[in-house]
Amino acid sequence: MTRTIAIVTDSTADLPAEVQRQLEITVVPLNIHFGQETWRDGIDLTPDEFMARLATSEKLPTTSHPAASVFEDAFRGLAASHDGIVCVLSSSKLSGTVQSARLAAEALADTVPVEVVDSLNVSYGLACQAVRAAQLADQARPLAEIAATLTAEIDQYHLVFFVETLEHLRRGGRIGKAAQLLGSLLQLKPLLRVEEGQVVPFERTRTRSKAIAALTAFARDLNDIEEAAVLYNSTPDEARDLAALVAGIAGRETVPVVQIGPVISTHVGPGVLGVVLKERSGG
């Protein structure tokens, strides 16, 4: 049966290309700016190319969310073959992407109904919600029900990660100065989490090995893991090792190892490692 509801997300979901194709999820790119040059996240610049450029760039890059017109174009294209659109996007507390999509949805209200869902998450935490939307759409659930289900399940998703330095998050205004000061004074590898759509301190660890141990302990403390993935941007071997540990905790053979894209890496810097976990409902 052909799906009548289209699914849209944005590039900060770090949704692998094969999953995008398989589940027919439309991904709207954010932008990365190196000086006067602008690159579309996930289209013009691969994660590895970005990390190489970041290492040699004198000035840190910046990012920007898509204009409402970009969402309008995407929605119009999908309206030709769908009865409605669910658009689940990165946290409105971290990006203006949700606002752009809502403006586009209002502009096209007479053309196609669009439900814009604020995931209050980012990276693969957002990706899991987009995949969930696609699954619900494949079950022929109504548009409003899909949006309501996604919203009701937001608290089941957990994204916990650590960074080499809090400097990138501080410069981008994504975390408070007090947490940045704490990390720089004590040379910590601070664990952070996305909570209610914001990046907040979670636990203080002094070394990468202790930070990795804390990530596995967090996974172990969850009652019933329905989805799991490991995130990284520049240390694939570490990520594979962590994924083996998380897979054992989650009771499965493997879990996805996902490379963080350029927009997220702009704000967290190199050396990031994290886990995304979804608790089973009622677990």
Separation CA 158–CA 144 (nearest Å) = 24
Do residues 267 and 14 make contact, with C-beta atoms less than 8 angstroms apart? no
CATH 3.40.50.10440 spans which residues of the chain? 5-30+65-152
Residue 283's pLDDT is: 42
Separation CA 218–CA 241 (nearest Å) = 16
Backbone angles phi, psi at 63, to 5 degrees: -130, 160
Residue 14's pLDDT is: 96
Separation CA 234–CA 245 (nearest Å) = 19
Residue 185's pLDDT is: 47
Q: Write down the architecture of domain 156-279 according to CATH.
A: 2-Layer Sandwich (3.30)
User: Which residue in 129, 125, 146, 130 sits closest to 231, CA to CA?
Assistant: 125
Residue 117's pLDDT is: 98
pLDDT in tens, the chain (283 residues): 578 999 999 999 999 999 999 999 999 999 999 988 999 998 998 899 998 988 888 888 999 999 999 999 999 999 999 999 999 999 999 999 999 999 999 999 999 999 999 999 999 999 999 999 999 999 999 999 999 999 999 999 999 998 876 665 666 555 554 455 454 545 667 788 999 998 888 887 878 899 999 999 999 999 799 999 999 999 999 999 999 999 999 999 999 999 999 999 988 888 999 999 999 875 4
Residue 256's pLDDT is: 96
Give Cα separations from 44 to 81, 130, 232 (angstroms).
27, 22, 20
pTM as predicted: 0.91
Give 4's Cβ-side CA count (13 Å radius). 10
Residue 130's pLDDT is: 98
Helices 236-250 and 208-221: crossing angle, nearest 10°? 20
5-30+65-152 CATH:
3.40.50.10440
Residue 64's pLDDT is: 95
Residue 134's pLDDT is: 98
CATH 3.30.1180.10 spans which residues of the chain? 156-279
Do residues 93 and 121 make contact, with C-beta atoms less than 8 angstroms apart? no
Residue 188's pLDDT is: 66
Separation CA 65–CA 10 (nearest Å) = 9
